[in-house]
Structure formats: C-alpha cells, structure tokens
C-alpha cells in the first residue's frame, strides 16, 4: 500500500513538473489543463467508482439520503464517468423514494417531499435524454410515468 501511494506521489510530481514546463511555453486555461491530465481523470474515475459502490450499498439498505449524497458528489465532479447512467438512476430513484417518504432515514429539516420529487424528475429525465441506450432506460421510463411525467414525449422532442 505504501509503495502504491509512493508511486502515485512520484507520478504526480512528474506530471506537475512536466505541466509547469508546458505552462511556461504556452499559457492554458485551468480547465484545459485538467482535461489534458490523464492522472486527474484516473483519480476522478477511482473516486467515482467508490462513490457508486457506496451509493449502491446505501440504496440496497434503504438509506436513500446517503445514496443521493454520494451520487450528487459524482454528478458535480465527474460527468464523464463510464457508469454515469447508473449514478443518475440511483440519484433519481433515491429522490423518488424520498418524495414518497420511504426508507430508513428521516427527511432532513428544510427538505419537503416535493423538492425530492422535482429532483427525481430532473435526474431521471437527464438519464432518458443523455443515455438513450442505457440498461436503466426502461425502468426509468416506468418510474417517470409513475411520477406523472411522459418521458417518451420528452425524448422524442429532443430527437
């Protein structure tokens, strides 16, 4: 474990030195530097996988607030995650369950079930629109219908 950590630190220093040399040659925006750095993507991918595993665990244990929080971390930071459709699905389903006051955790103060209903619709609609070939597509459409949305009309309008 120490060797892996040491190797990561060495790689980070090497990329930092190389990045500093390139920065002197031609200026780049900070967003371009993050996109060009494969080490950053690798670290974000590992973090996203951990968040997804934790969200799956929380979701199966009916701790929907924890599942939603883990998904929102990934949504905010790393939208190029390979399993982003699953993150959106868990976030949407957790929000839908919280809007129906299901689960083992009490709703936090200041969050009405209506707010979770809005969140559920947003996440599930985003999944339908951005990931039409997802394995979660059919279940998402069914859930949106139960929430009172017509997902096929929204998806058809985009195409």
Q: Is the pLDDT of residue 136 over 50?
A: yes
H helix count then E strand count, the chain: 8, 0
Q: DSSP letter for 107, please.
A: P
| pLDDT band, very low/low/confident/very high, at 158 (cuts 50, 70, 90) | very low
Rounded to an integer, what distance in angstroms lies between the CA atom of residue 66 and that of residue 58?
6
- CA 25, 29, 35, 40 dihedral sign is positive
Task: Tell me the two tokens of residue 106.
Answer: 């009490």
Percent of the chain with pLDDT over 70: 69
Phi then psi dihedrals of residue 95, to 5 deg: -65, -40
- Report the predicted TM-score, pTM, of the whole model to 2 decimal places: 0.70
Quick: pLDDT tens for 28-80.
544 554 455 666 888 999 999 999 999 999 999 999 999 999 999 999 998 88
Q: Identify the pLDDT of residue 93.
A: 96
Residue 144 burial (10 A CB sphere; 0-12, 13-18, 19+): buried
């Amino acid at each position: 474990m120490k060797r892996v950590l040491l190797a990561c630190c060495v790689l980070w220093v090497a990329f930092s030195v190389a990045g500093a040399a390139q920065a002197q040659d031609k200026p780049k925006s900070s967003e371009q530097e993050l996109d060009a750095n494969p080490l950053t993507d690798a670290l974000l991918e590992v973090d996203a996988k951990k968040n997804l595993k934790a969200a799956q665990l929380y979701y199966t244990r009916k701790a929907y607030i924890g599942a939603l929080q883990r998904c929102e971390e990934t949504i905010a930071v790393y939208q190029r995650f390979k399993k982003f459709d699953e993150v959106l699905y868990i976030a949407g389903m957790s929000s839908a369950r919280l809007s129906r006051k299901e689960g083992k955790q009490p709703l936090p103060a200041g969050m009405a079930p209506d707010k979770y209903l809005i969140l559920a619709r947003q996440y599930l609609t985003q999944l339908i629109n951005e990931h039409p070939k997802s394995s979660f597509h059919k279940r998402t459409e069914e859930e949106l219908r139960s929430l009172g949305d017509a997902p096929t009309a929204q998806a058809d309008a985009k195409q």
